[in-house]
Structure formats: structure tokens, C-alpha cells
């Protein structure tokens, strides 16, 4: 049951990421709003918990009320939802390759196995070496052309 729910939301996140990667400004706004709501909610809930446990006597009820507790929880959950559905919650800890991977419809770094990551690193090294080789050949050709002139 949990695997089906996880797979559904994972596919949904991938679809949202692919769509939003074409609209980077909207992506940034949604990510910014999600981040602010997430931290605001956490802050308000932390204030509510500290008020409940650290205010002495009957002053607790005057300091904190249900709407303020719910406000923090709702902000936290909405922010968490926005960050999770856009893939930015995990991307914060992995890197900023989220838009590029969305455009290329690649797996996220978190979904790749160690072998896949190693293979990608090796391929990039081969491309780098080949590019360096082409650069050297181009320099040789340029020297031969300059020598003839």
C-alpha cells in the first residue's frame, strides 16, 4: 500500500518538475513561497510548543490559542507540500540540477544508484578527455596553417 502511494507521488512530482522546468520564473515563485511557508510554519509551531511548555501558570491560555497553533501547522504543511511536489525539498540537499534534469526527463540524483552515478562521472571524464584531445589537434592544425602562410 505504502509503495503504491509513494510511487504515485513520485510520478506526480516528476510530471510537475518537467512542466515547471519550462517556466523557471513560476518555478522560482512556487519554490520561494513553499520555502517561506515551510519555515514560517515551523517557526510558529516552535513558538506554540515553547509557549505551552515554558510559560508558567495560567498565562499559557492567554499567550497561545488554537488558531495560532493551526496557522503554524497549516503553513508548515502547505509549504512542505509545495516543496515536495516540485522536487525542491530534496533538491535543496542535492544541488541545483533539478531544472536541467526536468528538461532532459532524467532521473533525479536521489533516484540514481551508485553505479549509475559512477557511470555518469566516467562518461563526463571521457568527454572531457576527448575535448582536450580535439583542442590539441586543433592547435596543431593552426600551427601548420600558420607555418604555410
The reported pLDDT for the residue numbered 40 is 93
Reported pTM? 0.55
C-alpha cell at 101: 534534469
97 to each of 21, 23, 62, 90, 92, how far by Cα in Å? 11, 15, 47, 11, 10
pLDDT band at 130 (very low <50, low <70, confident <90, very high): very high
Tens of pLDDT along 8-53? 888 888 898 889 888 989 999 999 999 999 999 999 888 877 777 7
Whole-angstrom Cα distance, residue 44 to residue 42? 6
Whole-angstrom Cα distance, residue 71 to residue 59? 20
SS3 23: coil
Answer yes or no: is pLDDT of 74 > 60: yes
Amino acid at each position: 500500500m505504502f509503495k503504491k502511494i509513494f510511487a504515485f507521488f513520485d510520478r506526480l512530482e516528476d510530471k510537475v518538475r518537467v512542466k515547471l522546468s519550462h517556466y523557471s520564473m513560476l518555478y522560482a515563485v512556487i519554490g520561494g513561497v513553499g520555502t517561506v511557508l515551510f519555515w514560517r510554519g515551523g517557526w510558529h509551531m516552535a513558538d506554540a510548543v515553547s509557549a505551552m511548555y515554558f510559560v508558567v501558570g495560567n498565562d499559557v491560555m492567554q499567550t497561545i490559542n488554537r488558531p495560532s497553533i493551526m496557522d503554524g501547522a497549516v503553513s508548515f504543511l502547505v509549504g512542505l507540500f509545495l516543496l515536495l511536489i516540485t522536487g525542491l525539498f530534496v533538491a535543496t540537499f542535492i544541488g541545483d540540477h533539478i531544472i536541467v534534469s526536468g528538461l532532459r526527463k532524467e532521473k533525479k540524483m536521489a533516484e540514481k544508484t551508485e553505479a549509475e552515478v559512477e557511470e555518469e562521472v566516467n562518461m563526463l571524464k571521457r568527454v572531457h578527455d576527448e575535448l582536450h584531445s580535439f583542442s590539441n589537434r586543433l592547435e596543431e592544425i593552426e600551427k601548420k596553417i600558420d607555418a604555410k602562410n
